[in-house]
Amino acid sequence: MARRRDGARPHPADPDAFMEKSLFSFIWRFSKRQQIFILCVTVLTYPVTYILLELPKLIVNDAVQGSGFPRAVFGFEFDQVSYLVLLCFTFLGLVVVSNGLKLFLNVYKGRLGERMLRRLRFELFQRVLRFRLPHFRKVSSGEIIPMITSEVEDVGGFIGEAFALPAYQGGMLVVQLGFIFMQDPLLGLAAISSYPIQAYIIPKLQRKVVLLSRRRVKNVRVIADKVGESITGVPEIHANDASAWHSADLSDRLYENFKIRYEIYNRKYFIKFLNNFMNQLTPFFFYLIGGYLVIEGDLSIGALLAVIAAYKDLAGPWKELLAYYQMTADVSVKYQTVVENFDPVDIYPAERLTSDETVALKGDLVLSNVSFSGGAAGQEVFDVSLKVPQGQMVAVVGPDGSGRAEVLQLAAGLVSPSSGRVEIGGQDLDKLSEATLGREIAYVGGAVHVWTGTIRDNMYYGLRHRPLVGPERTAEEQRAHERWLTEARLTVNPTYDRAAVWDDYAAAGVKDLAELDRRALELLSAVGLDADVYRLGLQSRFDPTLDDKFAERILAVRATLERRIAEDPTLRGLVELWNISQFNASATLAENLFFAVPKDPDITMDQVPDLPEVKAFLKETGIDGRLEEIGLKIAETMIELFANVSGDSGLLGTYSFITQDDLPEFDRIVRNARSVVQKSRMQDADRARLAGLAFKLVPARHRLGVMTDELKAEICQARKQFLEKVVAPGETFVAIDPGVYLPPLTIEDNLLFGRARVDRRDARQRIDQVIRSIVEETGLREPIMFAGFNYHVGVSGSRLSASQRRRLALVRGLLKNAPVTILDDIATGLNDEDQQLRQTLRALLEGRTLLFGSPYTGLAEEFHAHVLLDQGRLASKQADPT
């Protein structure tokens, strides 16, 4: 059962305050019923196995060679043949039963192991969430990740065997030993004579191995941490030419790992050697002593043979037991090495995370004699007392390292004071659950984190506390869900439904998703992120099946744009619109030929010619030959143009679609193609390269003169064939059609149904302006911004700029609609933009409590009051409204 350290327990009411320190108490505590069941079934297999071994003897001796038939079995009479048949079928039946039991047992053990593993892993993760923030200065993700993932993996495999194996194999051993002892006590003693020595030496040796595996686990953790750190800091490595140092560092660790492993092997296999030797030593005594006894006539030869046979059977279980012992030692040490990291003394109680009770935080925010130490100079707070009356806006001013960040985190309940109290409306923040702190307080700190996901995910993150409305499920889905629920309960995992609606509309003060979206849009505009989201929206893709009205509106803009272009002679020259019967000189040959876009947006135009159906089409229609001709002409021209240009001039790199490195290769291809003999034998790879060259040709830009009018007409002809043969019947492409929204293209590309002409200066920018004005006129800006909500921000928001990430986090905080808002180092500049943003924030948060952290004093006058922090102490209070 749970071991408890009395006196040091921070939360006596919490029975799970500590993790089981030993693997066996963990296994026994959470799976004793299953372990006993496994043991029972294992014992059940024992007579089955025994009979299965006895039956063949009975068949041979009794049925085949026996006499006295017919025999009576269970009141039925059997003659010799039917008796043989009966025994044989009994044998077959027992084979099925025995193996069936084994199958059942193996699956049962595997399932139990996986459940326990899930439980353990989840417990570990939840403990990470329960760590206090300062604890994360001591542990790194690089170390924690392997603990939760790979290091506990072996525990799962072990759990099913933990009790059953020693019980079963031990039982076998005892039975066999008993048999030997019954034959002759002396020989029995001889059989176990090596056991005491083995039992003494092997654990001693094994202890060393255990210590080594502990070192190995820790070393691998350091390796994981170093690799992780190298990845996060990779720009620094390159910027400082430090890769040699990191390589040496890691290589050292790998050598360390090798050394430990090598030593483990040496010891592990030495144990094996010793054990095998001891096992063979016993028969040596049997032959010597037993033989002597037989010669002397004290022992029958039959008894000696029986004992030697029994001893052989002894070796099996003994070996198994030894392997089990080694595995136990290994897995135990892994378990302990993991678990000891998840038991900091000051871990938060689990209820802080799991409780769903929200206490309304109304009233003044009061810090009374609060001290805090972050563990380093500049992260300390000494005896700070502060009162922020409800609804007041107070600036907390102090340079970095003055304790400003710590005071604000204390006020947000993110860290706990080492002495003193932080209260809002008389409620001690340290005693409140996250359900209160995370919902009633909006905290946006200096180092914001943006989650991998969409902009929408990130904005509504602060509203997703619990699943609110479950999804509708079909009967089948419901069954799957029930199973999921049962498993979750069995493994003490949470039963929060991921598919449910988590967005808490009421908390944000809105009715439904549409209103929430609108509110988010207002806030985006307020923090000045609207233009960015609009741009992202233009570049995003949108699925017209979700909202066909929006698609229609985009098509309407497309039509308006087309009309305006047609009417305005200056615009007409800027764009070349798609036209099914006309070659578009501002587009590539590939776009012109296929005149369709792949449904899968991940397939680029370059990859299209490699699609099997496209390949087949090109071959069938003979267009591949034409393309090779065009490619050949291009290659010839390029070689001729750049033949005399030196490699380092840089001219080729910018202008040609062949790079300097490719030039000799194309030179070879061209020469091959020209010589009549080799032309027919031109390799497929070379043909593909030539065709690839042709596909990239943009006639209006490259002006190589290869696209004659006849060729253009031919391409337009082939385009129609492609439409008929590949696009229409297949599922891979969407045809370019003025009346159809093309989902694989971005919204922007859908708005402009054509290409900005490459032979007109700044055509793209000028046409973009026209698009923007039409979008504004038709009121499409808003829906496009909503489309921008679905923009994927990349890993940890890597596709956003630092300032965009900060503003996004600000919107997340504001959307929470919390009575208390705490901002640290957000919009603290004295420039117009930040000043404007501060003004907007003050207007938005009118009547609510706001703590505004800033390193600069210049803006203090904008707030009702301000406090100055210096070296962790309150330096002055000015215009204190109290």
Partner 1 sequence: MSLETEVEALRRVPLFRGIDETKLRLLAFISDRTRYQKGERLCSQGEEGDSAFIILLGTADVRVDTPEGERTVAQVGENSIVGEIAILCDVPRTATLVAATDMDVLIVSKDDFLKLLKEFPDISLEVMRTLALRLERTTRDLAEAQRRAGD
Contacts to partner 1 by CB under 8 A = 569-570, 573, 637, 640-646, 649-651, 654-656, 700-705, 758-761
Shortest distance, position 655 Cβ to partner 1, whole Å? 5
Residue closer to partner 1 (CB basis): 68 or 569:
569
Shortest distance, position 630 Cβ to partner 1, whole Å? 14
List the end-to-end C-alpha distance of the chain, in Å, as a whole number: 54
As a whole number of angstroms, the distance between CA 216 and CA 247 comes to 20
Amino acid type, 692: G
Burial of residue 764 (number of CB atoms within 10 Å: 0-12, 13-18, 19+):
middle
Shortest distance, position 576 Cβ to partner 1, whole Å? 12
Residue closer to partner 1 (CB basis): 400 or 640:
640
Shortest distance, position 657 Cβ to partner 1, whole Å? 11
> How many contiguous H segments (helices) and E segments (strands) does the chain have?
35, 18
Dihedral, CA of residue 508, residue 513, residue 514 and residue 516, to nearest 10: 20
Please count the other Cβ atoms lying within 10 Å of the Cβ belonging to residue 601.
12
Nearest to 674 by CA among 690, 688, 662: 690
Residue closer to partner 1 (CB basis): 298 or 640:
640
Residue closer to partner 1 (CB basis): 490 or 645:
645
Residue closer to partner 1 (CB basis): 588 or 790:
588
Residue closer to partner 1 (CB basis): 77 or 759:
759
Shortest distance, position 717 Cβ to partner 1, whole Å? 22
88's CB contacts (< 8 A; 6+ apart) are 59
Tell how far CA 824 is from the center of its chain. Answer: 30
Residue closer to partner 1 (CB basis): 642 or 722:
642
As a whole number of angstroms, the distance between CA 368 and CA 180 comes to 79
Dihedral, CA of residue 722, residue 724, residue 725 and residue 729, to nearest 10: 120
Shortest distance, position 709 Cβ to partner 1, whole Å? 12
Q: Evaluate whether 774 touches 560 at the Cβ level (below 8 Å).
A: yes
Nearest to 754 by CA among 557, 500, 576, 550: 576
Shortest distance, position 564 Cβ to partner 1, whole Å? 17
- What SS3 state is found at 841? helix
Shortest distance, position 710 Cβ to partner 1, whole Å? 14
Residue closer to partner 1 (CB basis): 759 or 846:
759
Hey, what are 555's tokens?
Answer: 């098509």
As a whole number of angstroms, the distance between CA 867 and CA 700 comes to 66
Shortest distance, position 262 Cβ to partner 1, whole Å? 59
Q: Evaluate whether 873 touches 386 at the Cβ level (below 8 Å).
A: no
Residue closer to partner 1 (CB basis): 201 or 704:
704
As a whole number of angstroms, the distance between CA 394 and CA 389 comes to 9
Strand 596-598 vs strand 575-577: parallel, antiparallel, or unpaired?
A: unpaired
| Residues present in the chain in total | 882
Residue closer to partner 1 (CB basis): 647 or 881:
647
As a whole number of angstroms, the distance between CA 536 and CA 835 comes to 26
Residue closer to partner 1 (CB basis): 766 or 799:
766
Map tokens 């001709």 to a residue: 629
Shortest distance, position 586 Cβ to partner 1, whole Å? 12
Strand 427-428 vs strand 733-735: parallel, antiparallel, or unpaired?
A: unpaired
Residue closer to partner 1 (CB basis): 67 or 654:
654
- The sign of the dihedral angle between the CA atoms of 855, 858, 864, 866 is positive
Angle (CA) 553-554-555 rounded to 5° is: 90
Residue closer to partner 1 (CB basis): 548 or 759:
759
Dihedral, CA of residue 859, residue 863, residue 867 and residue 870, to nearest 10: -20
As a whole number of angstroms, the distance between CA 616 and CA 182 comes to 82
Tell how far CA 263 is from the center of its chain. Answer: 35
Phi, psi of 344 (to 5 degrees): -65, 150
519's CB contacts (< 8 A; 6+ apart) are 508, 509, 510, 815
Shortest distance, position 581 Cβ to partner 1, whole Å? 20
Shortest distance, position 792 Cβ to partner 1, whole Å? 35
As a whole number of angstroms, the distance between CA 710 and CA 593 comes to 14
As a whole number of angstroms, the distance between CA 571 and CA 179 comes to 103
Shortest distance, position 664 Cβ to partner 1, whole Å? 18
Residue closer to partner 1 (CB basis): 570 or 831:
570
Shortest distance, position 753 Cβ to partner 1, whole Å? 22
Amino acid type, 610: D
- 3-state SS track over 527-591: CCCHHHHHHHHHCCCCCCCCCHHHHHHHHHHHHHHHHHHHHCHHHHCCEEECCCCCCCCCCCHHH
Shortest distance, position 752 Cβ to partner 1, whole Å? 19
Residue closer to partner 1 (CB basis): 607 or 646:
646
Shortest distance, position 641 Cβ to partner 1, whole Å? 5
Residue closer to partner 1 (CB basis): 253 or 760:
760
Residue closer to partner 1 (CB basis): 395 or 632:
632
Hey, what are 451's tokens?
Answer: 């989650």
Tell how far CA 380 is from the center of its chain. Answer: 36
Does the N-terminal peptide bond of residue 738 adopt cis geometry, omega within 30 degrees of 0? no
Map tokens 């749970």 to a residue: 2
Shortest distance, position 642 Cβ to partner 1, whole Å? 7
